[in-house]
Chains A and B, each alone.
Chain A
Amino acid sequence: NAGVTQTPKFQVLKTGQSMTLQCAQDMNHNSMYWYRQDPGMGLRLIYYSASEGTTDKGEVPNGYNVSRLNKREFSLRLESAAPSQTSVYFCASSRLTYSYNEQFFGPGTRLTVL
């Protein structure tokens, strides 16, 4: 099992450009998440999808959109990138049950917006 995979690993954009970060998991998990990690800020939740067909805003959703394409895939789109979106982006997934389940993280995408 590959677990949670993310593409690309690195990306450099110019201000105003758009791009989509891809995430896929092969663990048959219901829930998927997008976080950003900035120096000194820890991980902050951007959007999450509790189950296929649903998405909800997290702590810092402005400037982003998401799509839960199917149970396996959850993409994050930046429509018009800004320098403030320079960060490392992590995707994660977990099972959805009545009790908490461990979140499994991808390797991250390092995005630089010039």
Chain B
Amino acid sequence: AQRVTQPEKLLSVFKGAPVELKCNYSYSGSPELFWYVQYSRQRLQLLLRHISRESIKGFTADLNKGETSFHLKKPFAQEEDSAMYYCALLTGANNLFFGTGTRLTVIP
């Protein structure tokens, strides 16, 4: 069975500090992973996907199949990065399996 683990429910960092949100997965197939974000009073939205290998809002995430991880990183956190972040695994035809989420707070 698939599993997505986000070990930190809450994460606080100071503005300008590096931030890393952890995500580990377990899946028997070829994994496709995503990060979704929910800002305060906004809808859940896609932040980035591993196959795109892109940087969005300064965030990057690398899929490490050996460690079964897909950690989200940003070198310098900004106050507007405060949000709820969900790691998600594609398990079937367009079906996503979500982790439990990490609430990031960036302290001014």
Tell whether A and B belong to one assembly. Answer: yes
A interface residue numbers (CB < 8 A to B) = 3-4, 31, 33, 35, 40-45, 48, 50, 58-59, 90, 94, 96, 100-108
- A79 nearest CB across to chain B (Å): 24
| CB–CB B43/A105 < 8 A | yes
**Which listed residue, B4, B44, B49, touches A105 by the CB 8 Å rule?**
B44
Indicate whether B32 reaches chain A with its CB closer than 8 angstroms. yes
Which chain B residues (39-58) contact chain A, with CB distance < 8 Å?
Answer: 43-46, 49
User: A33 CA to B98 CA in the complex, in Å?
Assistant: 13
Chain B contact patch, size range: 20 to 34
**Which listed residue, B93, B94, B100, touches A42 by the CB 8 Å rule?**
B100
| CB–CB B95/A42 < 8 A | no
| CB–CB A100/B32 < 8 A | yes
